[in-house]
């Protein structure tokens, strides 16, 4: 089964802080570390660790961060030969603050990710259209994503779009998206208002399903995940674990969903599996470094209570 990813590669510069700062505030930091990241890169590495044959597409600069990101992706088993290096442009960088409860704040400078273009998509289209599942996120420009979605054949690949960082999606042909996977904040942004209770979730789901998306999967952190289809909404409870860093948990989730769907599993099984992959990722620091292998997810699912924090 083949998974293709078109997305970002970032070097993450991460500081642990006592708490996340408010606007204008300075807070003391503790450790400072550099981790390979970027939503596209994380999802590609996660899918490879979960057993898929993965091709990653995107851009890095011709600097040492780009070199390192490509090396780490290759070492994880990802085919990154389609990632192009853009001369004179820096590789994408993310600044990440992580609080003791694992919650984070992220700002990123796209650098080379911002150079992904329609011409590039045209060049790599023959590989993208052969994938069983295609993973997309929003750390690259929207125009080439819209172009790609319009060019894809109806029957394949299945498309999973992670609307992060959230943006207005009205320029995208959403009827070509099979799974849209916002978190709660992103969902609120997409429908123009906070989504707090179940009724608000149902209303938001109805609005998004009306755009032609077939499945809406809401990643709701400690509340688990929700699947909204035309038939209604189903909740998948979260695993309770000791969180140290939520970075890339959403990427682990999307990659696991992709791998399961590529293997022909149904959405219910795939989302349960994705919840487990995300739960493991939040117990580890960093982005790519936190992503579990297939064996680790299987072990977790065999003995979930052993890994979960006591209630
Ligand atoms: O989803 C986590 C990722 O978001 C980080 O690795 C960072 O690079 C930002 O893009």
Any atom of ligand 1 within 6 Å of the Cβ of 186: no
Q: Specify the residue for token string 């442009």.
A: 89
Q: Specify the residue for token string 């597409």.
A: 57
How many whole angstroms from 106 Cα to the centroid of ligand 1? 7
Residue 96 lies in a domain: no
Which secondary structure element, helix H or strand E, spans residue 13, and what is its range? strand 10-17
**Given the CA of residue 106, which atom of ligand 1 is nearest to it?**
9
Q: By alpha-carbon position, which residue is closest to atom 10 of ligand 1?
A: 38
- One of 63, 79, 221, 251 is an active-site residue; which one? 251
Residue 100 lies in a domain: no
Q: Does the pLDDT at position 305 exceed 70? A: no
Residue 233 lies in a domain: yes
CB 163 within 8 A of CB 180: yes
Residue 231 lies in a domain: yes
CA distances from 92 to 86, 201, 226 (A): 11, 33, 31
- Band (pLDDT 50/70/90 cuts) for residue 195 is confident
Q: At residue 69, what are phi and psi to the nearest 5 degrees?
A: -60, -40
CB 189 within 8 A of CB 220: no
Q: Which domain range does residue 57 map to? A: 2-7+38-88+113-307
Q: By alpha-carbon position, which residue is closest to atom 7 of ligand 1?
A: 38
Which string of b and e fits 18-47 if b means at least 16 CB within 10 Å? eeeeeeeeeeeeeeeeebbbbbbbbbbbbb
Please give the structure tokens belonging to residue 143: 């125009």
C-alpha span between 62 and 131 (Å, rounded): 28
How many whole angstroms from 285 Cα to the centroid of ligand 1? 13
Please give the structure tokens belonging to residue 120: 């590039």
How many whole angstroms from 200 Cα to the centroid of ligand 1? 28
Instruction: Indicate the top mutation candidate among 93, 94, 165 to test ligand 1's pocket, ranked by most ligand atoms within 8 A of CB.
Output: 94
- Higher pLDDT: 70 or 288? It is 70
Q: Does the pLDDT at position 199 exceed 90? A: no
Q: By alpha-carbon position, which residue is closest to atom 1 of ligand 1?
A: 248
Residue 146 lies in a domain: yes
Region 6-30: what's the mean pLDDT?
A: 96
CB 18 within 8 A of CB 28: yes
Q: By alpha-carbon position, which residue is closest to atom 8 of ligand 1?
A: 38
Whole-number average pLDDT of the chain: 94
Cβ-in-10-Å burial (0-12, 13-18, 19+) of 225 comes to: buried
Q: Does the pLDDT at position 306 exceed 80? A: no
Q: What is the pLDDT of residue 32?
A: 93
CB 62 within 8 A of CB 86: yes
Determine if the peptide bond prior to 165 is cis (ω within 30°).
yes
Q: Which residues are 95's β-sheet partners?
A: 13, 107
Any atom of ligand 1 within 6 Å of the Cβ of 54: no
Question: Tell me: the pLDDT tens digits for 216-263?
Answer: 999 988 889 999 988 789 999 999 999 999 999 999 999 999 999 999
Question: Tell me: the pLDDT tens digits for 100-147?
Answer: 999 999 999 999 999 999 999 999 999 999 999 999 999 999 999 999
Model-level pTM? 0.95
C-alpha span between 45 and 56 (Å, rounded): 9
Q: What is the pLDDT of residue 311?
A: 33
Residue 81 lies in a domain: yes
CB 41 within 8 A of CB 69: yes
**Given the CA of residue 287, which atom of ligand 1 is nearest to it?**
6
Question: Tell me: the pLDDT tens digits for 259-296?
Answer: 999 999 999 999 999 999 999 999 999 998 999 999 99
Residue 279 lies in a domain: yes
**CATH (domain of 149):** 3.40.1190.20
Q: What is the pLDDT of residue 310?
A: 39
Residue 235 lies in a domain: yes
Active site residue 245: no
Domain tally, the chain: 1
- Band (pLDDT 50/70/90 cuts) for residue 31 is confident
Q: Specify the residue for token string 């990802």.
A: 78
How many whole angstroms from 183 Cα to the centroid of ligand 1? 14
Any atom of ligand 1 within 6 Å of the Cβ of 245: no
């Amino acid at each position: 089964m083949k998974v293709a990813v078109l997305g970002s590669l970032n070097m993450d510069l991460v500081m642990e802080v006592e708490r996340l700062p408010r606007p204008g505030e300075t807070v003391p930091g503790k450790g400072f570390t550099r981790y390979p990241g970027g939503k596209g890169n994380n999802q590609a590495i996660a899918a490879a660790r979960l057993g898929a044959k993965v091709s990653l597409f995107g851009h890095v600069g011709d600097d040492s961060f780009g070199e390192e990101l490509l090396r780490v992706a290759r070492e994880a088993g990802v085919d990154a030969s389609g990632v192009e290096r853009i001369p004179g442009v820096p590789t994408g960088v993310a600044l990440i603050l992580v609080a003791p409860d694992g919650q984070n704040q992220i700002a990123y400078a796209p650098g080379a990710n911002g150079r992904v273009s329609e011409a590039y998509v045209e060049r790599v289209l023959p590989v993208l259209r052969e994938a069983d599942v295609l993973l997309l996120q929003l750390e690259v420009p929207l125009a080439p994503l819209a172009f790609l979605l319009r060019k894809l054949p109806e029957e394949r690949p299945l498309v999973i779009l992670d609307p992060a960082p959230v943006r207005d999606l009205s320029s995208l042909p959403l009827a070509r998206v099979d799974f849209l996977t916002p978190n709660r904040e992103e969902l609120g942004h997409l429908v123009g208002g906070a989504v707090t209770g179940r009724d608000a979730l149902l209303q938001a789901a109805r609005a998004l399903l009306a755009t032609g998306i077939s499945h809406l999967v809401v990643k709701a952190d400690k509340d688990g995940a929700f699947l909204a289809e035309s038939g209604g909404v189903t909740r998948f409870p979260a695993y309770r674990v000791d969180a140290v860093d939520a970075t890339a948990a959403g990427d682990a989730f999307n990659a696991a969903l992709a791998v399961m769907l590529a293997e022909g599993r149904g959405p219910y099984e795939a989302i349960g599996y994705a919840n487990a992959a995300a739960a493991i990722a939040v117990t580890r620091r960093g982005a790519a470094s936190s992503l579990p292998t297939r064996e680790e997810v299987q072990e977790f699912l065999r003995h979930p209570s052993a890994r979960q924090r006591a209630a």
